Structure 1
Amino acid sequence: MPKPTKGARMGGSAAHEKLLLANLAKSLFEHGKITTTEAKARRLRPYAERLVTKAKKGDLHNRRQVLSVITDKSIVHTLFTEIGPRYENRPGGYTRITKIGNRRGDNAPMAVIELVEALTVAQQATGEAEAATKRSAKDAEAKNQAEETQAEDAKVDVAKGDEAKGDEAAEESKDA
């Protein structure tokens, strides 16, 4: 017996909603993030997260189930080889919805739904390298600043020494 789906109906028939969600999920997995209305984003979130959970399992049965929803084999391949393993240790919450204001034409509330990025080993190494570069730049800047203050202090000392010599010379000429 067919059961009603959870959540609000997106308008149109059940077949139209099914295709709409499949196309939104396909775009999400292809691009990593998409901009859509808040209602569509809220409706897409559990749908896409179920597909990612099937991709995490990675067996043939789950691959065929995902292929019955997303008919593009290259996106399913990406989902099973890159996206699923990325969230292997994460127990859920693979997507994030961020509200971005209203659409200009019809004032519809818009949102960005994106895959939450779990840091890969390469991304962590890149982040550590960038942090090390920033630290070395700060150290170099502090060193240059210290050298500049020492040079300024030396100039002030030389100037004071010249004034003192000038004062001594003036006193000697008065005595003579």
Structure 2
Amino acid sequence: ERTIYINGFSKAYAMTGWRLGYCCGPAAIIQQMTKIHQFAIMCAPTTSQYAAVEALKNGDPDIEEMRTAYNQRRRFLMNAFREMGLECFEPYGAFYVFPCIKEFGMTSEEFATRFLEEEKVAAVPGTAFGDSGEGYLRISYAYSLEKLKIAIGRLGHFVEKLRAEQNNK
């Protein structure tokens, strides 16, 4: 009677972007949550709801396959960051990494902008998640391993170029 469970389909069923979730709890609390929700948020599209039903009915075998794929991508990224000499906390509950870029003497926004302009790869500045994100980038590994290899190859090239610029000063 004192617990509210809130979850979504993004991670468990690889349904990122579908923005579909659910909650369970005491009826009186859920009724009040529903009042707020129905006037603040549009309903989930029918296609998202059907996809969620399919995931619940038949998606469990896919969960382990996706977990294995995400784990492989995470390990690839962590190894690549080590080889590049970039510090990065290893995540275990999400498919994002936050490599540290403080050594390059620019803001995370400047770094992300240059990386996009010069290497044609998008990364999110850490400051998009608050002031404590300064000096970090957020990189998603919800992409295929093949695309990640290309993007990380370009990041490696970019990091080498920045270090060469620093050495020439």
TM-score by length of 1: 0.24
TM-score by length of 2: 0.25
**Higher relative contact order structure (alpha carbons within 8 Å, sequence separation ≥ 6):** 1
Greater helix share, structure number: 1
Larger Rg: 1
